[in-house]
């Protein structure tokens, strides 16, 4: 089939046009046949008038012959009646016979109402001309018998002439009428045959179009629907047969390509689920993704506790890349933008973009590796405890087209979740190892600290020691106490949590925590609404609330109030907010406050908020932070409520 007729819409338009053209041709031909029929009817009416005129002429002549006048009064009476009728009938016959013999009927249009010029066959026209000659001879003879004086015509002789020649005239007229009847019947039969032919052809074309529509549209569509259902039911290996080279064929081809990608994606996700470490995950990606998009280098960068982003591992052309581990500062870089927006970021030309800023160190490293096009995909975050960026790169600039970006944007969530889980597992395993190591170190350090503390207590009892020595002993004791707190926090953060959950009144726990701060109780304002019970480990939740309230007291100016709210709004959560004034927390510090050992307070351990987050996560809760000049700093925690709410009225603050 020519390329011009391959599109299905062109074929359908062509079929409809063909069928419409056939029916239109049949309709136009029928209209023409109707016009011909009207013309034939007009001819037959003229032929009838011709016969009638001749018969009338003959009858009048016979009556005049039988009743010829014998005196002048009667003659003049007939002259006013018969002679006028004779001339009128003769004139009518003249015009009709002349129209037939010359095949020109324009002069009679007003009389017979013809819409088109009648068509006389050659034989009919020959007979009409013969009739015209017979009539001409008859009129000459009639004029001769009437005489030269039109005032006193010889009517009786004229009547005899008409009677003598009427048979010849009627015979010629009947021959013309018979021929006209034959022509009209032949044309009617021909028109009926052509109409049947056109109708039959239209029916055949309609049947052919229906058959074509079934084989080229309905059947491929039914096969496609059946195949689509199989793929929709999970059989991604199924392929639909391409039966046509039109839009349906293109649709089926695109669907087969989609099914192939889904099958590749299924294998990818299955292997990602089976992968237990970062190396196997990256190997799976580097072997599978090239079937979906142009990728020849994949690297994973993880944000560390120091705020820098570290290149953990990379694969090039399906094999581990011996690039080694590198660290990069994310400040004012595209990596920072990707982490902040949580959206894939496309760098169409690494070389061109790396020259725009000295901070784009990672892009320069990619350029050294020979990569010219890259996509940054953020992974982790959203409470997972780890953030990172997966980099997909190619050797050629502008190799990622819009469909590749759309594919990665759609796959990004799935791939990101899998990689985020892998990174979380890697981090968890690393933290577990660090926790075991930290627990051992804490126990090893606590024994010498206890000995040192006992020695300091002994020295402090000596009365003869100088005052400077006592001050040094006191300072040493304070440092030992700080180390004890640090070691205790490390054990809380590193040890596995065992919770003793029981239904508890969260408002009552809040009141107990506030009462435990006698020196600052006046600065704390509590606002509550009726709240359901929560199923928690009360001691652990007290630890969370004490930590947050003390942080709020320390961060607000001396004498300023902090506000503690507790509310429940027809959701599965009980929400507690702790708000304080003072200097807001910088945006750069907000994302790192929950990182272990990160602190902005002098003498702080950097484990308070990480412990709070860990305890809340263990309860299935959440913590969030907002800080601004207008509203101050607010830590919001959400704890799942128990099944049955506590009954009672609202408690006053």
- Summarised one tens digit per residue, pLDDT across range 117-137 is 677 888 888 988 898 898 888
Phi-psi map region of 113: left, alpha, beta (phi>0 left; psi -120 to 50 alpha): left
- CATH number for the domain that contains residue 337: 3.30.450.40
Beta bridge partners of 389: 301, 378
The SS3 of residue 595 is coil
Distance CA 138, CA 166 (A): 9
Quick check: 323 and 369 in contact, CB under 8 A?
yes
* CATH number for position 52: 1.20.120.1730
Q: Are residues 294 and 417 in the same domain?
A: yes
- On whether residue 630 sits in a domain, the answer given is yes
C-beta of residue 632 within 8 angstroms of C-beta of residue 579? yes
- Is it the case that residue 577 has pLDDT exceeding 90? yes
Same domain? For 302 and 388 the reply is yes
- For residues 427 and 506, state if they share a domain: no
The C-alpha atoms of residue 150 and residue 521 are separated, in whole angstroms, by: 148
* Mean pLDDT, the chain, whole residue set: 78
Distances (CA, A) of 505 to 499, 530, 562: 17, 10, 22
- For residues 81 and 60, the answer to whether their CB atoms sit within 8 Å is no
- Tell me, yes or no, whether 525 lies in a domain: yes
Burial class (CB in 10 A: 0-12, 13-18, 19+), 486: middle
- What digits encode the pLDDT tens for the residues 264-299? 766 766 665 665 567 777 787 788 778 778 889 998
Tell me, yes or no, whether 377 and 284 share the same domain: yes
581 closest CA partner among 545, 625, 630, 614: 630
Residue 52 shares a structural domain with residue 193: yes
Q: Last residue of some domain: 189, 204, 219?
A: 204
Better pLDDT: 394 or 213: 394
In the block, which residue shows the tokens 């090239």? 290
Q: pLDDT value at position 636?
A: 92
Mean pLDDT confidence for 70-86: 75
Q: What is the pLDDT of residues 494-545, one digit of tens each?
A: 666 678 888 889 899 888 888 887 777 788 888 888 888 888 988 889 889 9
* 108 neighbors 94 (Cβ within 8 angstroms): no
Task: Flag whether 247 is in a domain.
Answer: no
Domain membership flag for residue 477: no
Let me know: does 344 contact 409? Beta carbons within 8 Å.
yes
Whether 234 is covered by a domain: the verdict is no
Which percentage of the chain shows pLDDT scores above 70? 78
Burial of 517 (0-12, 13-18, 19+ CB in 10 A): middle
Higher pLDDT, 142 or 487: 142
Give the domain-ending residue among 407, 432, 457: 432
Which residue range is the domain that position 124 belongs to?
Answer: 9-204
Which phi and psi (to 5°) does residue 232 adopt? -65, -30
Overall residue count recorded for the chain in this entry = 653
Q: What angle do CA 537, 543, 544 make, to 5 degrees?
A: 90
- Same structural domain, 525 and 627: yes
Please check whether residues 198 and 289 belong to one and the same domain. Answer: no
Share of the chain above pLDDT 90, in %: 3
The DSSP bridge pattern shows strands 534-536 and 562-567 to be unpaired
Q: How many domains does the chain have?
A: 3
Closest-CA residue to 243 (of 229, 256, 232, 231): 256
pLDDT reported for residue 566: 92
Phi-psi region of 12 (alpha: psi -120 to 50; beta: other; left: phi over 0): alpha
pLDDT for residue 647: 37
Residues 149 and 284 in one domain: no
254 domain-assigned:
no
DSSP string, 45-112: HHHHHHHHHHHHHHHHHHHHHHT--SSHHHHHHHHHHHHHHHHHHHHHHHHHHHHHHHT--GGGHHHH
The helix/strand/coil state of 429 is: helix
How far, in Å, CA of 648 to CA of 510, rounded?
Answer: 17
Q: Which of 139, 39, 27, 31 lies closest to 86 in space, CA to CA?
A: 139
Query: Kind of pairing, strands 562-567 and 502-504?
Result: unpaired
The pLDDT value given to residue 644:
42
Asked whether the beta carbons of 142 and 41 are under 8 A apart, the reply is no
483 part of a folded domain: no
The two structure tokens encoding residue 495: 């040890």
Q: Which residues pair with 387 in a beta bridge?
A: 380
Q: What is the CA radius of gyration of the chain?
A: 56
pTM beyond 0.85: the answer is no
Q: Which two tokens stand for residue 436?
A: 């075991």
pLDDT value for 293: 81
pLDDT digits (tens, 9 = 90+) for 401-420: 777 777 766 666 666 666 66
Mean pLDDT throughout 587-600? Answer: 74
Helix-then-strand count for the chain, H and E = 17, 14
Residues 186-212: tens digit of each pLDDT: 888 888 888 888 888 888 888 888 888
Query: Closest Cα partner for 285 from 262, 323, 314, 311?
Result: 314
Do 410 and 298 share a structural domain? yes
One domain, residues 39 and 178 = yes
Contacts of 500 (CB under 8 A, 6+ apart): 537, 539
Do 539 and 405 belong to one domain? Answer: no
Cα distance between residue 312 and residue 281, in whole Å: 13
> Higher model confidence: residue 255 or residue 635?
635
- Do 381 and 525 sit in the same domain of this protein? no
**Residue whose C-alpha is closest to residue 569's, from 531, 528, 526:** 531
Confidence label for 303 from pLDDT (cuts 50, 70 and 90): confident
Report in angstroms the alpha-carbon separations of 215 from 4, 131, 211, 218, 241. 20, 64, 6, 6, 14
pLDDT at 222 over 70: yes
Residue with more model confidence, 575 or 154: 575
> Among residues 380, 398, 432, which one ends one of the domains?
432
The residue-averaged pLDDT of 427-439 equals 57
Residue 472 lies in a domain: no
**Side-chain-facing half-sphere of 653: CA atoms under 13 Å:** 14
CATH code at 629?
3.30.565.10
Distance from C-alpha of 476 to C-alpha of 525, rounded to nearest angstrom: 38
- Degrees (nearest 5) of the Cα angle 347, 266, 297? 30
More confident site: 274 or 108: 108
Q: Which residues contact residue 74 at a Cβ distance below 8 angstroms, ignoring those fewer than 6 apart? A: none
402 compared with 185, residue with greater pLDDT: 185
- What SS3 class is residue 420? helix
Residue 238 or residue 60, greater confidence: 60
């Amino acid at each position: 089939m020519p390329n011009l007729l391959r599109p299905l819409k062109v074929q359908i338009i062509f079929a409809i046009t063909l069928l419409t053209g056939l029916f239109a041709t049949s309709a136009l031909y029928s209209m023409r046949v109707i016009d011909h029929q009207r013309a034939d009817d007009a001819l037959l009416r003229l032929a009838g008038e011709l016969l009638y005129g001749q018969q009338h002429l003959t009858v009048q002549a016979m009556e005049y012959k039988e009743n010829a006048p014998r005196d002048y009064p009667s003659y003049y009476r007939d002259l006013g009646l018969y002679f006028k009728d004779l001339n009128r009938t003769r004139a009518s016959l003249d015009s009709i016979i002349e129209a037939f013999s010359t095949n020109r009927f324009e002069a009679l249009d007003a009389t017979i109402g013809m819409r088109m010029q009648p068509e006389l066959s050659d034989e009919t026209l020959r007979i009409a001309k013969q009739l015209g000659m017979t009539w001409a001879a008859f009129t000459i003879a009639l004029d001769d018998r009437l005489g030269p004086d039109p005032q006193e015509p010889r009517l009786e002789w004229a009547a005899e002439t008409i009677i003598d020649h009427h048979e010849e005239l009627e015979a010629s007229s009947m021959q013309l009428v018979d021929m006209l009847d034959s022509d009209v019947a032949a044309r009617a039969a021909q028109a009926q045959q052509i109409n049947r032919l056109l109708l039959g052809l239209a029916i055949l074309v309609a049947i052919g179009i229906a058959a074509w529509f079934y084989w080229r549209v309905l059947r491929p569509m039914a096969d496609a629907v059946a195949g689509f259902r199989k793929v929709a039911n999970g059989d991604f290996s199924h392929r639909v047969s391409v039966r046509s080279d039109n839009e349906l064929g293109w649709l089926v081809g695109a669907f087969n390509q989609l099914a192939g990608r889904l099958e590749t994606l299924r294998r990818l996700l299955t292997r990602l689920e089976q992968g237990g470490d970062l190396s196997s995950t990256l190997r799976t990606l580097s072997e599978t993704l090239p079937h979906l998009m142009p990728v020849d280098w994949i690297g994973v960068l993880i944000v560390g506790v120091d705020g820098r982003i570290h290149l953990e591992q990379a694969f090039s052309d399906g094999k581990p890349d011996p690039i080694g581990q590198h660290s990069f500062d994310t400040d004012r870089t595209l990596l920072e933008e990707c982490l902040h927006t949580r959206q894939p970021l496309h760098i169409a030309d690494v070389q061109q973009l790396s020259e725009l800023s000295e901070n784009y160190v990672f892009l320069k490293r990619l350029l050294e590796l020979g990569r010219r096009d890259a996509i940054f995909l953020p992974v982790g975050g959203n409470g997972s405890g780890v953030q990172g960026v997966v980099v997909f790169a190619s050797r050629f600039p502008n190799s990622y087209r819009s469909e590749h970006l759309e594919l990665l944007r759609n796959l990004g969530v799935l791939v990101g979740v899998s990689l985020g889980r892998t990174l979380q597992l890697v981090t968890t395993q690393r933290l577990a190892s660090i926790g075991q190591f930290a627990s051992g170190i804490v126990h090893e350090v606590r024994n010498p600290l206890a000995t040192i503390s006992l020695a300091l207590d002994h020295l402090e009892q000596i009365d003869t020691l100088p005052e400077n020595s006592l001050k040094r002993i006191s300072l040493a004791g304070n440092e030992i106490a700080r180390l004890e707190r640090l070691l205790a926090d490390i054990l809380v953060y590193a040890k596995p949590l065992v919770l003793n959950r029981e239904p508890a009144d969260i408002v009552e726990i809040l009141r107990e925590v506030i009462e435990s701060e006698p020196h600052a109780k006046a600065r704390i304002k509590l606002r509550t609404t009726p709240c359901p019970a929560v199923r928690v480990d009360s001691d652990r939740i007290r630890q969370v609330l004490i930590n947050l309230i003390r942080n709020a007291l320390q961060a607000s100016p001396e004498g300023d109030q902090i506000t503690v709210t507790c509310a429940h709004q027809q959701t599965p959560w009980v929400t507690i907010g702790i708000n304080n004034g003072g200097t807001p927390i910088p945006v750069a510090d907000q994302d790192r406050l929950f990182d272990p050992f990160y602190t902005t307070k002098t003498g702080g351990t950097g484990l308070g908020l990480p412990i709070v987050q860990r305890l809340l996560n263990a309860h299935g809760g959440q913590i969030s932070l907002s800080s601004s000049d207008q509203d101050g700093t607010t830590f919001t925690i959400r704890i799942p409520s128990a099944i049955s709410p506590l009954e009672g009225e609202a408690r006053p603050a």
